[in-house]
Amino acid sequence: MDEGAELRPILEQLVALPELPPPELNMTYGEELERRLPGIAGGLSLALARAFKTLDPKLKNPQTEQWERAFRIFDLLL
């Protein structure tokens, strides 16, 4: 995914780290997870774009209905 387009720096800026859990859970995000978040976000973005084309191959500008339908599918999968 990163080849040729140098997407990693862009994705790193777009990915917001999830909120840390409450202290009583005593969990933190590891460096490995933080390092992989841009790639995960990029992969999910690519999958979303492909989902739009699967839902409607002629779709050029998704409207609210298409976004909601795609998010419902992703909610089922994630």
Q: State pLDDT tens for residues 17-60.
A: 666 666 666 666 788 888 898 898 899 989 998 888 888 899 88
* Cα gap 13→42, rounded to integer Å: 11
Which sign, positive or negative, has the C-alpha torsion 39, 40, 43, 45? negative
Domain spanning 8-77: which superfamily? Histone, subunit A (1.10.20.10)
- pTM for the whole thing? 0.56
> If you ran DSSP here, which 8-state letter would residue 20 be given?
P
